[in-house]
Amino acid sequence: MATLAGIIKRIRSEIGDFSAPFVDTFVGGDELSSYDLSEVNVSSVSAKVSTAAPASTVELVEDTDYVLNPAEGSILLISAEYSPLKHGQTLIVRGVSHGMFSDADLETYVQDAMAQHTYGRSIRTRYRDGMGHIRYDLEPIELENLPPVEEPLVAYLAVINVLWTLATDASTDIDVNTAEGTFVPRSQRYRQLMEHLGQVQDRYNTLAQQLNVGLSRIEMFQLRRVSRTTNRLVPVFQPREYDDTSKPERLLPQIDGDEYDDESGIPSPLYPGTWG
C-alpha cells in the first residue's frame, strides 16, 4: 500500500533534498522570547525547558507555550512562564530540517500529482447485496488503494512539478559580465533544470504509456447519435456487466461548442420536446 511518507521519501531521493536532524540549545537571560534556529524548513519539532534549580524538564506544547515558524526556522515563546526565558532556564529544540522543501510543501505536490495521475479512473468492485443481487461499486483511486506499480509514477509526476518550481526560481537569474572579463553563467542552472525536467517527463510518459495510466492514457468513448425526428442527442447510459442488476446510470458527456452560442436574446419559435 502506498503511503504519503513513502512517496515523499522517493521525491527527496530524486531531487537530493534529504532530511537532517538538528538540536539547538538556548540559555535564558530574562531578555528574549524569540530565538532563531540553526536550520530552516524544519518539521517534527519538539521543545522543552530545563531548569537547574530545582532540576526539572518540562515539555512545551505548540500553540500553547510556543509558536513555530517552520519556513523561517524560528521559535517564539508565548507562555507567561517562559516568556522571556529566565536565568537558570535552558530551551532545547529538536527537529528535522530540509534543504529546499518541507514535508508540508511536498505533500501539496503529491496531492496534485495524485489528482492528475488518477483523473477519471476508479476501481470497480463486484459484490452481492443483501437481496442476493450482484452489484458493482465504484471506488475512487487514492493512496490507500493505489496499485504498487504506479507508486513510482506518482513520485515522478510530483518531482516534475517540484522541478518546475525550481526552474521558475532559476529563470530570474541572469549571466554576469564584468569589465575585468569575469563571466558567471548563472542562467546555466535554469538550462540544466529544464534539461533534467524533460528527462524525468520522458521517463514518466514512457511508463505511463506502458501501463495506460495518467492524463495521456488511451480512453474509449461512445459516439453520440442525434435523433432524426427531434434533432436531440439520444441518451447514453453507463455500460454494465451481463449480471449487473442495478438501475441504468445516465451519462452526461460534455457538449462543446460554446463559441457558437447565440447571444442575440431572440427566443426560438420552435416547440421544445417535439423538434428543434
Residues 6-19 pLDDT 10s: 999 999 999 988 88
Same structural domain, 26 and 73: yes
Mark whether 117 and 199 lie in a shared domain.
yes
pTM as predicted: 0.72
Q: Where does residue 177 fall: left (phi above 0), alpha (psi -120 to 50 degrees), or beta otherwise? A: beta
Answer yes or no: is 59 within a domain: yes
Averaged pLDDT, 225-231: 87
Grid cell for residue 115: 489528482
Query: 116 pLDDT band (50/70/90 cuts)?
Result: very high
Extract the C-alpha cell encoding 88. 537558570
35-83 pLDDT, tens per residue?
999 998 888 899 999 988 788 899 999 999 999 998 889 999 998 888 8
Residue 187 lies in a domain: yes
Domain, as residue range, for 58: 19-98
Same domain for 112 and 151? yes
Q: Could you say which of 71, 98, 125 is where a domain stops?
A: 98
**Whether residue 122 is found in the same domain as residue 198:** yes
Give CA angle at 236 (115, 208), nearest 5°: 30
Q: Identify the pLDDT of residue 10.
A: 93
Round to whole Å and give the CA distance between 17 and 11.
8
Tell me the three state secondary structure of residue 166.
helix
Say if 44 falls within a structural domain.
yes
Residues 6+ apart with CB under 8 A from 182: 176
Instruction: Indicate if 108 and 191 belong to the same structural domain.
Output: yes
pLDDT of 265 over the 80 cut:
no
Structure confidence at residue 191 (pLDDT): 92
**Domain assignment present for 179:** yes
Residue 142 within a domain: yes
| 51 strand-pairing partners | 56, 89
3-state SS string for 196-220:
HHHHHHHHHHHHHHHHCCCCCCCCC
Predicted confidence band of residue 258 (pLDDT cuts 50, 70, 90) = low
Q: Which residues pair with 233 in a beta bridge?
A: 226
Would 2 be classed as within a structural domain?
no
Residue 199 lies in a domain: yes
Name the pLDDT band for 133 (thresholds 50, 70, 90).
confident
SS3 state at 70: coil
One domain, residues 142 and 79: no
- Within this chain, do residues 120 and 33 fall inside the same structural domain, yes or no? no
Q: What is the mean pLDDT of residues 199-213?
A: 95
Higher-pLDDT residue of 108, 276? 108
Asked whether residue 53 falls in the same domain as residue 122, the answer is no
Same domain? 196 vs 117: yes
Residue 190: predicted pLDDT: 92
pLDDT at 55: 84
Question: How many structural domains does the chain have?
Answer: 2
Whole-number Å distance between alpha carbons of 138 and 121: 9
Q: Which of 98, 133, 153 is the last residue of a domain?
A: 98
250 assigned to some structural domain: no
Question: What angle, 0 to 180 degrees and rounded to 10, lies between the N-to-C axes of helices 188-211 and 151-170?
Answer: 160
Peptide bond between residue 253 and the one before it cis (omega within 30 degrees of 0): no
Where among 98, 118, 150 does a domain terminate?
98
Residues 118, 38 share a domain: no
pLDDT tens across 144-163, in order? 889 999 999 999 999 999 99
The answer to whether residues 57 and 151 belong to one domain is: no
Residues 58 and 33 in one domain: yes
